[in-house]
A and B are shown apart, each in its own frame.
Chain A
Amino acid sequence: MVSLTEFNQNMIQNILHVYVSWTRYVLFLVMAFYTYLNFRYFSVDESRQKRICARQIWLMLFLHLISYSVLYLNTLDPAVAVFYCLQVVFFLCFILVYRAFYPRASRLLVNNMCMLLCVGFIMLTRLSYERAVRQFIIAALSAVVAWIIPAVVRRAGFLSKIPWAYAAVGIFLLAAVCVVGNTSFGAQLSISIGGFSIQPSEFVKILYVLFAAGMLSRSVKLKNVAVTTAAAAVHVLILVLSRDLGSALLFFLTYLFMLYAATSDLRWMGAGLLGGSLAAAAAYQFFSHVQSRVLAWRDPWSDIDNKGYQITQSLFAIGTGSWFGLGLYEGMPRRIPVVEKDFIFAAISEEMGALFALCVLLICLGCFLQFVLLAGRLENMFCKLTAFGLGTMYIVQVFLTVGGVIKFIPSTGVTLPLVSYGGSSLLSTFILFGVIQGLYSMI
């Protein structure tokens, strides 16, 4: 005989399932409206821009609330409820503190940071509560660290004068990883210091952009460009030697974009692309893991058990989730290896829907467009190139990770900034956005 409690429990399960399947549509609508406002922002005057940003905050909080209600009902864990409240406090503090201290900072960018973090927290809580908590703590610490960055940027005129210091530190750190780094998934990415595993390349990214901006803003004469290119190439080469090909590609493309922005000379661009293609061909010849990545991209189905496993599981996740997703806890995102890092986009797509995931992608693109607009308005060449370089670094990384997840390009193993799990990536993205916010006060 079915007892009454058992019946009730079944009923609760059923209601929950229906609730989850309906919230998918609500979440998408909220996300779509938020994303729309993100682009609408650019075509209205300043007072309405503020209204738009205020509305975005409400939308984000609503989306956050609905998602966590699903997460809570599925786990019935009071810790999740507490975790939710802490996040709300964090978001509100982050937004308010920015407004109080940096009135000229871009509210839209602050909102977008919160939205991307929010999506990341939701998905990570779904995937692994412990990791989500860890991510939250790192985010909170990073926010504190990054809070002072804009102040440093706008006060520090010396930033543009020490390009070689950036290069020296950057190359040293990359070389250190290359020599003593821990190997994971065939690449040396991190070094352990006092129990913490740190990925220096995440921070070298920013130094690298500052270096290139510093050098290229001085002069675009042949000699200077040649020297700068050589130093940039050293960065890329060390990354290749560490087998961190995603980062190598990221650094390479970022430099190429900055070089073209600074010189407006297509010959440099052509030479860079030619060199890059030759290097890629060479890498394909000499590194077996490059070949296997490319093969896994071209035909993952023929080696579905092994090399093609990750990408095919990702495609299953995205395809089974379809446009509106299966709903939180209704899919199997954990079947994708490294899902919380490189393949978080597939997990979002599976459970929250491809349309939702594409909104995330558009928000990232919106951030990039803001960076470029900012760069366009900055008079100072160093600041201009820095803003543009950081924007490029950011958007190329988004492209590499999302493109890899959906099999648009071979998978390169980079994270989705602010969304993927990973302390170094989170902190460095906070710093990156902090630098950009600092530059806003220079317009």
Chain B
Amino acid sequence: MRKLWEKLKKEDHFSQPSGGRRHPNESMLRLTYVVVAVFVGMILYEGWFLAVRREDTINNSYNARLDSFAERVVRGRIVSGDGTVLAETVVGEDGSEIRRYPFGPLFSHVVGYSSMGRTGLEDLAHFYLLSSHVNLIEHTLRELMGEKNMGDTVVTTLDPVLQQTAYDALGDRRGAVVVLEPDTGRVLVMVSKPGFDPNTVAGEWDSLVSADNTSGQLLNRAAQGLYPPGSTFKTVMLLEYIREHPEDYGDFRFDCDGCYEDGEYAIRCYHGNAHGTQTLEEAFANSCNGAFAYLGKQLDAGKLAATAKELLFNSDIPISLPYSRSAYMMGEDADLWERLQTSIGQGRTQISPLHNALLAAAIANGGTLMKPYFIDHIENAGGDRIRGFLPSAYGSLMTAEEAAVLTGMMEKVVAGGTASAVKSDLYTAAAKTGSAEFEAGRETHAWMIGFAPAENPRLAVSVIVEEGGSGGSAAAPIARKIFDAYFSR
């Protein structure tokens, strides 16, 4: 055999590398390093996927595997930060399971339901609710006995007292309320009316989705509802004006006689009120439409669109619940009428109450938007913490200086303007109201966005009352009740 090999060697072509050339082994070694590096990269990627991306990925309605978890796990509870049960599964003697929502319609949209598909937190936290972290021995024993283990408890950021306050304040009117902490993004309140009772949603399903139903109870107006922003949009106009006139915005003057006429068009102030000579601050505080229509004409349409984009119009907003994207449609070639209308938050601009709350929160938080979130942490059924969620910043929507100027202006709205309903000795609020027209001959939608205390904001709110009339008289009192309930603790 050896001889054969020797022979083979002689006969073979030997193209051994000559003098200067690198030995092939060296090149092969280099390539091997490349291969090993690529594999290490691939393994790290897989580790990253499992450690970071896993839960968001598999918590998907297309992943049927999660549903099979329900065969071995009793769906866990959803509770508020203070431990109040918002949703729980009651297991009967015969092993039948009923999902119970003690507060009925109070949390209908944000907690959602899991009977006819899943919505709200029931969907968002589906994976956690069906994961069980009871201790290993108990887990094993139960499985041996063929009993289900208890799923983990999802502890939310929601505040039942504030939720109830907002819910009651809204009364029978349609609308939505969002309250969150500007410095953390924790969502405390999310109310949408009309709602439904998640306990009985399966039974009432047909009427809820029937074509004759015009109430839209299933729609989460807070995140999915789109409304003209009305005068709340003046915060955006104000920001843009400050950006374009950083030195001399204090010199702005406008003489309001209740109706601003420009060519064939006229922009009227609310109920035709004549505000007289207005500074920028006064025009904002009094929500003077004429002043803002006049101001809007002087702005660069392209830059205004860019600012709107920065403020998350026409963009995704960082939230895991289904939502509608707010729209800012005015192009640089818009005609005069559209420019005037857009300046006062009418026209084709549309915003969701949640988005408006985020704008208020960003102003309150020195320009930095914190990502809104609903799940504070996960506990096992025994109450041991499994994992927590920390606040995280989305990014800066405006500079701290700009936010400070807007805050000052919004304080004036409360101190001597349209949002006097939230003026209190307990706290100093900052706000902007809006009365958005949406259909000729019908009452306007009432808006208010704001936060308190102005010097160190702890709550940001957004309130809309459909066809509520003026923001100051219909929306601001609701915000007032929420602030009062929170700051009197």
Contacts and interface: CB of A to CB of B under 8 A. Distances in A.
A395 B62 CA distance: 33
Interface string B228-249: 0000000000000000000000
Contacts of A380: 9, 12, 14
B252 interface: no
A73 B8 CA distance: 55
A28 B22 CA distance: 43
B214 interface: no
A217 B26 CA distance: 16
Nearest to A358: B43
A335 B64 contact: yes
Nearest to A18: B143
A218 interface: yes
- Among A13, A17, A408, chain B packs the most CB atoms within 10 A around the CB of A408
- Among B7, B31, B53, chain A packs the most CB atoms within 10 A around the CB of B31
Dominant secondary structure of chain A at its interface with chain B: helix
Interface stretch (A115-123, A244-252, A282-290, A399-407): A399-407
A402 to B, nearest CB: 7
B9 A264 contact: no
B32 A369 contact: yes
Contact of A14 (B53, B64, B144): B144
B31 A316 contact: no
Contacts, number: 145
B45 interface: yes
Interface stretch (A90-98, A170-178, A254-262): A254-262
- Among B23, B30, B65, chain A packs the most CB atoms within 10 A around the CB of B65
A14 B143 CA distance: 6
A332 B146 contact: no
A407 B14 CA distance: 43
B316 to A, nearest CB: 13
A24 interface: no
Contact of B5 (A257, A323, A365, A442): A442
B25 A376 contact: yes
Interface in B31-70: 31-32, 35-36, 38-39, 41-43, 45-46, 49-50, 53-55, 57-58, 60, 62-66, 68
A361 B7 contact: no
Contact of B15 (A319, A381, A407): A381
Given A322-B54, A354-B50, A10 B65 contact: no
A264 B26 contact: yes
Interface string A425-443: 0000000000000000110
Contacts of B22: 264
A359 to B, nearest CB: 11
Interface in A303-325: 304, 312-313, 315-320, 322-323
Interface stretch (A153-161, A183-191, A229-237): A153-161
A237 B488 CA distance: 77
Contacts of B58: 315-316, 319-320
B144 to A, nearest CB: 5
Contact of A382 (B12, B17, B41): B12
Range, interface on chain B: 35 or more
A381 B146 contact: no
- Among B16, B28, B31, chain A packs the most CB atoms within 10 A around the CB of B28
A382 B7 contact: no
A408 B1 contact: no
A142 to B, nearest CB: 26
Contacts of A318: 46, 49-50
A384 B17 CA distance: 13
B45 A408 contact: yes
A304 B50 CA distance: 20
B12 A406 contact: no
A220 B42 contact: no
A372 interface: yes
Contacts of B19: none
A354 B50 CA distance: 9
Contacts of A365: 35-36, 39
Given A316-B63, A320-B63, A320-B66, A18 B140 contact: yes
Contacts of B9: 379-380
Contacts of A315: 49, 57-58
A104 to B, nearest CB: 10
A316 B57 CA distance: 7
A263 B26 CA distance: 11
A315 B36 CA distance: 24
A213 B4 CA distance: 21
A312 B27 CA distance: 38
B4 A331 contact: no
B370 to A, nearest CB: 25
A34 interface: no
A219 interface: yes
B13 A264 contact: no
24 contacts: A17-B72, A17-B143, A18-B140, A154-B1, A160-B12, A160-B13, A257-B31, A260-B27, A260-B30, A261-B24, A263-B27, A264-B26, A264-B27, A316-B58, A316-B62, A319-B58, A332-B64, A332-B65, A335-B64, A376-B25, A380-B9, A388-B28, A406-B45, A441-B1
Given A160-B12, A313-B62, A361-B39, 8 more contacts: A157-B8, A160-B13, A217-B13, A361-B42, A376-B29, A380-B9, A392-B31, A442-B5
